[in-house]
Amino acid sequence: MSYPHQRLAAHPHDRAALRRHDAAWLEERWADASTRVLVVSGTRVRPRDGALDWVAPADAPDGLRVLLGEHDGRTWFAVVTGAEEAAAAREEWVPLRGLLPHLGDDTLASAPLVFHALGLAEWLFVTRYCPRCGEPLTPAASGHELRCANGHTQFPRTDPAVIMLVTHGEPGTDDEMCLLGRQPVWPAGRYSTLAGFCEPGETLEDAVRREVLEETGVVVGEVDYFGNQPWPLPASLMLGFVGRATTTEISVDQDELDDAQWFTRAQLRAGAEDGSLVLPGGVSISRSLVEHWYGGPLSGSW
């Protein structure tokens, strides 16, 4: 079974990492009319007519050229400019989260390129000074490194985050349940899988157990790996798991969650169909976890 989140990584590009220092090759590819460029203002992009706005190099503004790589017989770059243009016309420029609705079936092939570009743009935007000596940082390696005057080099960081569907009951039976929670800022009826960041010195499985216990009071025993999804919002890798609960009593923390509930498959289906239960979006690994447990597609999404 193919899961929704896999669509975002179904067309990976060759990142051409060995070419990031090859100035002659980079100029040659930039001069090629078939090369395509995504313009990023700060950390935002501008969709046009419901599609991503990839332009020819001749039409790209001045800015930091970031080599994304090669795909489908072309070379792909991003040009990262200051945030001024996006600030001046904010309704036209959107961050990655706002861009997700524009990733339809005809644009999903470019999703890994977009995630690559915006993930680097977010890192470049917030990483201005060397954390070791405080000196200003200068981009190198086609935007994939930052260096200071003292020779310290910084590389992009990715934060591992666990996201999990917790279940209880005999697997596959009508009585088996899954645990979903909701954040206080969400609209009524919106529920999702639980998630949280892995802490230093912690295994991923223990992060699952800790986060579920902290947020809902439910104790998790067995934890099985499900899959992963790049999620540069701003710099995460979502690692999906299925956990088996050993307790069912819920006590929400009232900090990250304001409610959590157990749902049988029948309750999940009925709520999704009548709109009283609004599940995660179709391209998220959260949606994949829910539908994997349910056994097929479900109605509705946010």
**Residue 7: pLDDT above 90?**
no
Where does the chain show beta strands of DSSP type E?
A: 36-41, 54-55, 64-71, 74-81, 138-140, 145-147, 153-154, 159-168, 177-182, 194-197, 220-231, 236-245, 259-264
Q: Are 162 and 241 in contact (CB under 8 A)?
A: yes
The pLDDT value given to residue 2 = 64
The pLDDT value given to residue 98 = 78
Given pLDDT bands bounded at 50, 70 and 90, which one contains residue 283? confident
Same domain, 97 and 187: no
- Number of folded domains that form the chain: 2
Same domain, 169 and 278: yes
What CATH number is attached to the domain comprising 251? 3.90.79.10
The pLDDT value given to residue 261 = 98
Q: Would you say how long the chain is, in residues?
A: 302
Same domain, 243 and 170: yes
Indicate whether 193 belongs to any domain: yes
Indicate whether 194 belongs to any domain: yes
Same domain, 289 and 174: yes
**Residue 268: pLDDT above 60?**
yes
Indicate whether 56 belongs to any domain: yes
Same domain, 122 and 188: no
Tens of pLDDT, residues 154-183: 999 999 999 999 999 999 999 999 999 999
Same domain, 169 and 102: no
CA distances from 13 to 73, 111, 124 (A): 10, 10, 21
CA distances from 114 to 70, 187, 273, 279, 292 (A): 13, 28, 33, 25, 26
Same domain, 170 and 285: yes
Indicate whether 121 belongs to any domain: yes
| Confidence (pTM) | 0.88
Indicate whether 98 belongs to any domain: yes
Same domain, 163 and 69: no
Indicate whether 138 belongs to any domain: no
Same domain, 22 and 95: yes
Tens of pLDDT, residues 195-253: 999 999 999 999 999 999 999 999 999 999 999 998 888 899 999 999 999 999 999 98
Indicate whether 153 belongs to any domain: no
The pLDDT value given to residue 4 = 64
The pLDDT value given to residue 87 = 76
Indicate whether 132 belongs to any domain: no
**Residue 191: pLDDT above 60?**
yes
For 31, the domain range is 4-126
Tens of pLDDT, residues 68-119: 999 999 999 999 999 887 777 777 888 887 777 656 555 667 889 999 999 9
Same domain, 117 and 179: no
Same domain, 16 and 122: yes
The pLDDT value given to residue 106 = 54
| Cα separation, 185 vs 259, whole angstroms | 11
Q: Which of 101, 126, 151 is the C-terminal boundary of a domain?
A: 126
Same domain, 199 and 73: no
The pLDDT value given to residue 83 = 84
* Angle, alpha carbons 66-239-166 (nearest 5°): 155
Given pLDDT bands bounded at 50, 70 and 90, which one contains residue 258? very high
Tens of pLDDT, residues 26-46: 999 999 999 999 999 999 998
Mean pLDDT of the chain: 92
